[in-house]
Chain A
Amino acid sequence: MHLILTDAAPIHWAIGGAAIGAITLALLYIGNRRLGVSTGFENICALVVHTPYFTRQSLVSSHSWRLPLLTGLFLGGVLSALLAGGWETTWALGMFDAEIGWGNGGKLLWMFGGGLLIGFGTRLAGGCTSGHGIFGMSNLELPSIISTVCFMAAGIVTTNLIYRVIL
């Protein structure tokens, strides 16, 4: 299978996985920080919302490392597109276009709805693929193992419902 962005095969999974492991360890060894992306959404919310939840010390004190990390993730995407032959905007959504075929407005609604579940769900779970799936599982933390089993199971059921049952 090819990537939507480059229309070329991805890098080997072993290289991708080893790189993510190295990044996780570098963040801990050099920065003394535990990898986790989803709390970063709270850091963004905290820039405009000033309720007790968003002004708690543990969150505010992490602005200075989570916000640069999140900005970097965005820049990594930009760099990837540039290296692939030039940055351009696109609505291409692979299988979704081929089998569901909604227009741009429909895609925005679909993505917004999914995003609500991601934002609420990851914060209720206390982590996402990085904080629970990679760091937490590597550290053999029971809450992370439970959460990872739950989000993988829910993803498998949802995608199979969409592409194998409904369509």
Chain B
Amino acid sequence: MKTSPLMMLFYLGLGTVFGLVLSRSGAADYNFIQGMFLLEEFQLYGIIGTAVAVTAPGLYFLKRYGKTATGEKLQFERKPGHRGNIYGGFLFGIGWAITGMCPGPILVNIGEGKLYAIAALAGTLVGAGSFGALYPKLQGIFKLPSLQVGTGEG
């Protein structure tokens, strides 16, 4: 599926709005993330809960409608199930608590001018790169799908 320059601009714009919302809602704020994990701040639970409450019915109706805005057939992959869902989830949760950032907010924090977030991005890229390099070995340990399927495009 080719992506036209206009669509690239759309993804860039959508990402910018997404970044602005993450920045101003507390999702890219160290204190709000710690407050969520300490069960002291409702903010992030409210955000994730509302996002799911809006997306779930929208997704249900979009799937029934079955087409995109341009009339293309709506299609996306479901996530494959494997042991990595559990162990990878644990590792990511520890990293999220340590840095106060999940993947999107790492980029938002750098944009905001928070210099330490550059180290978080460097670590993340080395972590993702190591995962890719070790994939053949990890595949057996965690019963991961074949390389072409991957662990799940997220």
Contacts and interface: CB of A to CB of B under 8 A. Distances in A.
Nearest to B138: A124
A13 B42 contact: yes
Interface in A73-118: 73-81, 87-96, 104, 107-118
Contacts, number: 539
Contacts of A77: 19-20, 23, 28, 107-113
What's the interface size class on A, roughly?
35 or more
A119 B96 contact: no
Given A125-B88, A133-B48, A114 B152 contact: no
Given A17-B49, A61-B1, A115-B123, A79 B19 contact: yes
Contacts of B99: 110-111, 114-115, 118
Contacts of B108: 73-74, 76-77, 80
Interface string B26-54: 11111111111111011111111111111
B126 A159 contact: no
B127 A119 contact: yes
Nearest to A107: B116
Interface string A142-156: 111011111111111
Contact of A75 (B12, B62, B101, B151): B12
Interface string B98-109: 111111101111
A147 B89 contact: yes
Contacts of A133: 48, 52
Given A37-B154, A65-B11, A93-B30, A16 B24 contact: yes
Given A26-B14, A41-B125, A94-B30, A65 B8 contact: yes
A72 B16 contact: yes
Contact of A72 (B13, B36, B103, B110): B13
15 contacts: A16-B24, A20-B50, A23-B14, A32-B72, A58-B153, A71-B12, A73-B107, A115-B119, A118-B99, A121-B88, A138-B55, A153-B90, A154-B91, A156-B37, A156-B38
Q: List 4 A-B pairs, minimum CB-CB distance, nearest first.
A: A76-B19, A72-B15, A115-B123, A77-B111
